[in-house]
Chain A
Amino acid sequence: MTTYAVEATDLVKIFGKHRAVDGISLKVPKGIVYGFLGPNGAGKTTMIRMLATLLKPNEGHAKVMGYDLGKEADKVRHSISLTGQFASVDEELSGRENLIFISRLVGYSRKQAKLRADELLHAFQLEDVAKRQVKKYSGGMRRRIDIAASIVTSPELLFLDEPTTGLDPRSRNQVWDIVKALVKNGTTVFLTTQYLEEADQLADLIGVIDRGKLIAEGTSKELKSSIGAGSLTVHFDDSEELKKAQNIFISQFEQEPDINEQDISLTVMIKEHAKAAKAIGELANTNVQIKDFSMSQPSLDEVFLTLTGNVQDQEGGDSTNE
């Protein structure tokens, strides 16, 4: 028995001239949520499709649940389930038909398949829409039926490709709860996301991917301490106060804040939360009038800014003129 759900070594996938995945090695211990974090076009889906036996890597090799991706693809398929980024059930069929259909393919008898479908519909609160075509589902329902179809039999390893992109907060929380329940039950979850907050909430281990390369890996705590806790923004009533505050930051904290004249506000990057509290306290002590202040988590942009040292281009992953 290996202790790793995924052991990838130097995986490369090339489309034409474009290296969508450019030499990624990673190890995912069993029983955790691994968060694969990166912007659009970074190569997340390509990586997942290779690990789920759908794409052959051009270079490198990997073991999934202890089985070799190339030589033991069928054994890999026995241990995994995939919930793709887009419609991973048949949208023309109803939710119940989809679940019966997948249950039959997994090997259940006709009777067991119906039973299993109804169990899943109940647990995922989809009973009311069981007979409706999936294409008429809301985004949240669709994601739940996608995941339900993936756990017709509990997989040892579940791939979830951007499970919450485009969902409202309530649906997103439902998906998070489902993931937590799965992991509690012993399933390893490999999920991709564009949101730092999601990786932060769910993932035990986060890998940051950009332009086909793994540029950082660690727990959410480790990643954050490498890039700081976020930023502090303070608003003032007039620019007089703003000026005073700016001087305090420079003299007391040896930090040059970003000034926004229009909003009459300033922003500083903060290494740890305690420091932010200290700064606000200092402003109050010196009688600077504050209108309000807010802390924000480091955004994905800031993570990339810090990790890659350059602003990530919005075209995403075009590497022709590097």
Chain B
Amino acid sequence: MNKPSAIEEILTNRTRPKSPPAIQASATFAWRALLRIRYVPEQLFDVTVFPIIFLLMFTYLFGGAISGSTGEYLNFVLPGILVMTVSMITMYTGLDLNKDIEKGVFDRFRSLPIWQPSVLVGALLVDTLRYLIASTIMVTLGYILGFRPEAGFSGVIMGVVILLLFSFSLSWIWTMLGIIVRSEKALMGISMMFLFPLTFLSSVFVDPSTMPNWLQKFVDINPITFVVDAVRTLIHGTGTNGDVMIVIYISIALIAIFGPLTMYFFKNK
């Protein structure tokens, strides 16, 4: 039998500490996400396998046809596939949340006096870490296959940083959908419907100047094109700072629109 006295003893303290600042709360939720990865390492499957498959597939499938040699094509296409792969992986953020949020523990989170977005920000921070793992794997494998960044190592780092910023911002769309959409299947369908055209109809694989006019128009306003151009610019030192600034604006806009929307649906679920 349980001794009530033991429980009474630990109840004496009624003073509640001050609620944690937003950063501590977010970090605590990030810690939760990390612990979950430790228990279920399969969660890392998508960020390890996709980069490898995509890179090998596109390099050897298109390399010979488009550029004549795989080595040359790799230099052109790797930044593009990097953006495509990581953008695709952001979708899993929504899928994971969709399953997670049905659990009773979210009721507890929502009844705590904390900065409510921290529940999602923490999870997204750890997802950003997953995107970093995917990027590292792809760049490393690319290097082995003959990829040589012209702006050197620091260029690669800056390219990856700007990609992570964009991916973190893009994740808010899937987070919002993950809260609204009921079934995982429907969510997957919606995400694919956006991601496939956006990633393929961009400057990922080929230079837009080779495309028919009408297609070029779409590709030129596609946000993914801007991100691909910025990452290429940073990795090969070819473009201008303007390319990078546009991605920063796009990212801020995504967070400004979908952050509050997500929180609205989260609170009123």
Residues of A at the B interface (CB closer than 8 Å) are 49, 52-54, 56, 74, 77-78, 80-82, 84-93, 97, 101-102, 104-108, 112, 119-120, 122-125, 133, 149-151, 153-154, 156, 170, 173-174, 177-178, 180-182, 184-187
Knowing A90-B32, A93-B36, A108-B17, the reply to whether A74 touches B113 (Cβ < 8 A) is: yes
Contact (Cβ within 8 A) A88 B12: no
**Chain A residues with CB below 8 A from B10, complex form:** 119-120, 123, 151
Contact (Cβ within 8 A) B110 A54: yes
Q: B122 to chain A: closest CB distance in Å? A: 10
What is the bound-complex CA distance between A231 and B255, given in angstroms? 65
What is the bound-complex CA distance between A97 and B105, given in angstroms? 14
- Taking A106-B112, A181-B7 as known contacts, 17 extra A-B pairs with beta carbons closer than 8 A to each other, sorted by chain A number, are A52-B111, A77-B111, A84-B107, A88-B107, A88-B108, A89-B108, A92-B40, A105-B25, A105-B112, A105-B114, A106-B16, A122-B6, A123-B10, A125-B2, A150-B108, A153-B13, A187-B11
Contact (Cβ within 8 A) B111 A86: no
What is the bound-complex CA distance between A107 and B24, given in angstroms? 9
Which residues of B183-233 have CB atoms within 8 Å of chain A's CB atoms? none
What is the bound-complex CA distance between A81 and B109, given in angstroms? 10
**Chain B residues with CB below 8 A from A85, complex form:** 104
Contact (Cβ within 8 A) A77 B112: yes
Contact (Cβ within 8 A) A104 B1: no
Which residues of B1-42 have CB atoms within 8 Å of chain A's CB atoms? 1-2, 4, 6-20, 24-25, 28, 31-32, 35-36, 39-40
Contact (Cβ within 8 A) B31 A82: no
Contact (Cβ within 8 A) A53 B12: no
How many pairs of A and B residues are in contact by the CB < 8 Å rule? 126
What is the bound-complex CA distance between A177 and B109, given in angstroms? 26
Contact (Cβ within 8 A) B19 A107: yes
Q: How many residues of B contact A (CB 8 A)?
A: 39
Knowing A108-B17, A124-B7, the reply to whether A93 touches B104 (Cβ < 8 A) is: no
Contact (Cβ within 8 A) B105 A88: yes
Q: Which A residue sits closest to B113, measured CB to CB?
A: A77
Contact (Cβ within 8 A) A54 B107: yes
Contact (Cβ within 8 A) B11 A181: yes
**Chain A residues with CB below 8 A from B7, complex form:** 123-124, 177-178, 181-182
Contact (Cβ within 8 A) B12 A78: no
B140: Cβ under 8 A from any A Cβ:
no
Knowing A74-B113, A82-B111, A174-B1, the reply to whether A182 touches B11 (Cβ < 8 A) is: yes
Q: A137 to chain B: closest CB distance in Å? A: 14
Q: B108 to chain A: closest CB distance in Å? A: 5
